[in-house]
Amino acid sequence: MLFAAITSNQSAKQTVSTQCLKELSCTKETIQMNKTCKNPGPRYRHLTLLHSNDLHGDFLAENVDDKLVGGVSMLSGYINKVRRETPNTLYMIAGDMFRGSLIDSEFQGISTIDIMNALAPDVVSLGNHEVDYGIAHLLFLEKCCKFPIVNANVYIKTMGTRLFNSHKILELDGMKILVIGILTEEIMGRAKKDKLMGTFIDVADAAQEVGVICDSYKNVDIDFTILLTHIGYENDIELAKELNPEWGVDVIIGGHSHTLLKEPAEINHVLIVQAGIGTDQIGHFEIEIDTDTNSVSSYTWKTVPIDAEHCERNEAIENLILNYKRITDEKYGVILTTLTDKATHPCRYQETSVGNLFCDILKDSYSLDLVLLGSGSLRKESLGPVVTNGNLLDMYSYDEKLLEIRLTGAQLKQAMAFMFAQAAADAEGGHSEYYQISEGFCFVYDDSLGQLCEASFQGQPIDDTVVFRVGIEAFHADNLKSFLSLDPDKVEGLSPRRTITTNIRVSVEEYLRSHTHLVPTLQGRTGRQ
């Protein structure tokens, strides 16, 4: 690695015993039996571990089937109730507190930190969206935090200096709990544009650094080790495979892929969990720690719904959020247009009516042949029928450029085939890129054959030699190789890219102001069979 190893007096935990590993792999019934046994003496310690990930500014409860669900008020109520009733409770967040709400974007994360301070997590790790407002701004926000942020691998290339503490040791009931924050380069997103910033390249590098940190603790008796990651569920599995059991990692609490698990995965004697997205649920571990072997003796884990049935309200934090909401409502309550029906975006891996609406607006505004819009850029599940400034900002919160590139028919088909293949591979919890496309094109992928079975433009098969003018977000244009399997030099060689608009959201806003009764539609533009 480019930065020097930590020089503090640190060390790995004791090797997990064979007996303990057998206990860890026992059935759920045996686990529950072990859990309810009253272990005498100081050898066994109990830990309640609550965790969230990818909150994305999901501050307010929503009405689902006539029931209030989610929101930080009830989330805080649940955490506080568990803290009161259960000794040795910790709450952690595995990245991406920011983005996804008007309250967050309007105040560039300051509101989020204010709300998170009231929620009072014990440790938080960085996610990719924590750097969306810039590294300098993130360092300012850290100064506002009343909770520690851990990250082992965001550093200044020229100096090899970490920007954050790589880890935190929490002391609880005589136990020492080591928490390490992990992020990798492929997840860093917009921060990769900053040439002074570096990260781990992949999970192998991340695992190596975990070993460096753990091995630094030879003279400290660490009872339990947690990796607080934001690299996606599939990468968490790969990371667990890379870990040396002698380093003593017990649990990986992950984020980024928005994976809602039914039970923990156990890989290389490491438990892996993730709690979906937002505040609709929270992960809840009950763990018995064997402090002689520094390992998990037994555990139970579940996700708990954040609703009135399971949670009390925290009125103080609710009022704090509503104060911010009143400001944004006043500023962004102007109605832009009315759609004929609600536009929806229920899943990032399929064509959606919100995606079609945005792509068609940009295509028509700039006379392009095709618009490719990253599904992950659309942050809400629905828009309209009445659309305000705030609704639009909630849906697309980025001040992002739209660039024009040129692609041949062959390159376009190659890109779309790659997109479908990645989406198929990520069906079990990955986080690949998927694109909404504008009207006139149709791409259908055959999963069994692993190839496109239809690629047409205006009802005709796409000619490999035809060149199309394509609109694409600047972030995606900067990642053509990893997102679309396109050689950026060949794309640039066909025609230098140019900026069409410096702000996609403002362009969409202006279009909506001057158009009414737009009809959200699904047309079968992309699909798999």
**pLDDT tens digits, the chain, 529 residues: what are they?**
333 332 233 333 333 333 333 333 333 333 333 333 334 446 899 999 999 999 999 999 988 888 889 999 999 999 999 999 998 999 999 999 998 788 998 899 999 999 999 999 999 999 988 888 888 898 999 999 999 999 987 776 666 677 889 999 999 998 999 999 998 765 555 554 555 554 555 788 889 889 999 998 767 889 999 999 999 999 999 999 999 999 999 999 999 989 999 999 999 999 999 999 999 999 999 999 999 999 999 999 999 999 999 999 999 999 999 999 999 999 999 999 999 999 999 988 999 999 999 999 999 999 999 999 999 899 899 999 999 999 999 899 889 999 999 999 999 999 999 999 988 776 544 567 899 999 999 999 999 999 999 999 999 999 999 999 999 999 999 999 989 999 999 999 999 999 999 999 999 999 999 999 999 999 999 999 8
Structural domain for 108, as ranges: 19-31+40-323
* pLDDT of the residue at 64: 83
Which residue shows structure tokens 């030699």? Answer: 465
Do both 312 and 414 map to the same domain? Answer: no
**Could you tell me if residue 239 is inside a domain?**
yes
Number of domains in the chain: 2
- CA distance linking residue 235 with residue 335, whole number of Å: 42
Whether residues 501 and 424 fall in one domain:
yes
> For residue 259, what is the DSSP state?
-
Q: Do 121 and 178 reside in the same domain of the chain?
A: yes
Same domain for 84 and 142? yes
For residue 4, is it within any domain? no
Q: What tokens were used for 240? A: 């667990």
DSSP 14: P
Report yes or no on 10 lying in a domain. Answer: no
Number of neighbouring beta carbons within 10 Å of residue 45: 21
Residues 201 and 267 in one domain: yes
| Residue where one domain finishes, among candidates 290, 323, 356 | 323
83-89 LR contacts (CB < 8 Å, sep 24+): 86/48, 87/46, 87/48, 87/173, 88/45, 88/46, 88/47, 88/48, 88/172, 88/173, 88/175, 89/48, 89/49, 89/50
Say whether both 192 and 73 belong to one domain: yes
CA angle 241–246–251, rounded 5-degree value: 55
Tell me: do 383 and 318 sit in the same domain.
Answer: no
pTM over 0.85: no
In a domain, 517, yes or no: yes
β-bridge partners, 289: 45, 296
The pLDDT value given to residue 201: 53
Q: Based on the fold, state whether residues 214 and 173 are members of the same structural domain.
A: yes
Q: DSSP assignment of 110-150, as one string?
A: HHHHHHHHHH--SEEE--GGGGTT-HHHHHHHHHH-SS-EE
Q: To which residue do tokens 């940009």 refer?
A: 362
Listed residues 281, 301, 323: the one ending a domain: 323
Task: State whether 47 and 173 are in the same domain.
Answer: yes
Q: Are residues 349 and 277 in the same domain?
A: no
pLDDT at 319: 95
Q: Which residues contact 41 (CB under 8 A, 6 or more apart)?
A: none
Query: For the purposes of burial, counting CB atoms within 10 Å of the CB of 458, is it exposed (0-12), middle (13-18) or buried (19 or more)?
Result: exposed
Check which CATH number belongs to the domain holding 460 and give it: 3.90.780.10
**Is 5 inside a domain boundary?**
no
Is 11 part of a structural domain of the chain?
no
Residue finishing a domain among 323, 352, 378 = 323
* Cα 471 from Cα 469, distance rounded (Å): 7
Determine the Cα–Cα distance for residues 378 and 397; give it in Å rounded to an integer: 8
Same domain, 269 and 366: no
Q: What is the pLDDT of residues 198-251, one digit of tens each?
A: 455 578 888 988 999 999 876 788 999 999 999 999 999 999 999 999 999 999
**How many angstroms separate the CA atoms of 118 and 108, rounded?**
18
Residue 8 lies in a domain: no
The answer to whether residue 445 is domain-embedded is: yes
What's the CATH code of the domain at 97?
Answer: 3.60.21.10
Q: 411 with 282, same domain?
A: no
